[in-house]
Chain A
Amino acid sequence: MSVLDDVLSRARGLIGRWEDEDCGTVTVKDFCRYAAAVDDLGYLRRARDQEAAGQPVEAPALFLAATMSWEDGPPEDELLPDGLAVRESPCTQGLPVRQVHGGQSVRLTRAPLAGTRVTASRAVTSAERKHGRSGDFVLLGLTTRYTAPDGTELTAVDETVVVLAALPKGATA
């Protein structure tokens, strides 16, 4: 059995198993740090002005979708060799693979406001063996739904992750 068969087998066993993650209460500081990292100074000014005026402050549109994890950790010695946490790399723990994002689809239902406690519910939704320019790979489908405490959907993200076998030492992709 190849490493990609292992990934496929593991992924198919996880399909449809939803896991909830508490994202905590999002803050204006969180939003502004995100905006600063993408050099969106206009957002920074408007958000801080609104906060000073006592108005609600909405998150940058892709703030929830862009955040990989809301966990406190894991500590460095629990990361995989490529730097990913186990939960960010479903079905690949201990396997010699490399992975990249295939793409995303983000639907914005209601912008989260600062002060909202957010829950992320995530599941593997599909797993397929494919063949492309880089050779064989497994295409994982993941869905994450972000909701407010009343259950209202804020954002939904469908994403694909491309899992390839690790390169032999000294090889290039």
Chain B
Amino acid sequence: MNTPAAVGDVCPPRRYTHSRLQLFRFSAVSWNSHRIHYDAEFAVSEGFSDVVVQSTLHGQTLTRYALEWAGPDACLESVSWRNVATAVAGEPLTWSGTVRTVAPCDSGVRVTLDVFVLRDDGAPCVTGQVDLTCRAARTSPSAEPCRGPATS
């Protein structure tokens, strides 16, 4: 658990890429047949350099790394993001986050992170915000166990 977090704390960045195979599997499991995500030739015809990372996969990544940073007692409350630029398969990406607010709540501590997906040149392709509740038993005796296994 990375709490107690303080405003301005910077989360360790995470580097990753999405493979074409992952984009295809994510399209399949999310019943997303938009060809820009799995048909490279079609994606190029629409002006992209390769198949395009799904918006919701960006949201998934923003959320997952925020929860991994926060630790097993953290629950996701909300996530929002804006796609600033397109990311494509194989492109090196970096997740980063900064603590915006920390406030006590009924179940522990509520932490809001400003989160980003950055391209290799440091330019953001996704910007967003993740709200987490971190159980803090020592400061909140009434805190209830975190919800289930849903860490992704």
Contacts and interface: CB of A to CB of B under 8 A. Distances in A.
Interface of A: 33-40, 42-43, 46-47, 50, 56-62, 65-71, 79, 82-85, 88, 98, 100-108, 111, 159, 167, 171-173
B86 interface: yes
A49 B80 CA distance: 31
A68 B150 contact: no
Interface of B: 22, 25-26, 28-36, 39, 42, 45-48, 52, 54-57, 59-60, 63-64, 67, 76-83, 86, 128, 147-152
Given A50-B149, A171-B47, A173-B48, A67 B64 contact: no
Given A38-B60, A39-B22, A43-B149, A62 B33 contact: no
A133 B105 CA distance: 41
21 contacts: A37-B22, A37-B28, A38-B26, A39-B22, A43-B150, A56-B148, A58-B150, A60-B150, A62-B56, A62-B60, A65-B56, A68-B31, A68-B32, A84-B33, A84-B34, A104-B56, A104-B80, A105-B80, A106-B78, A111-B148, A167-B47
A36 B63 CA distance: 16
Nearest to A173: B47
Nearest to A58: B148
B59 to A, nearest CB: 6
Contacts of A100: 36, 52, 55, 83, 86
Contact of B25 (A37, A57, A69, A107): A37
A101 B55 contact: yes
B33 A79 contact: yes
A66 B151 contact: no
B149 A58 contact: yes
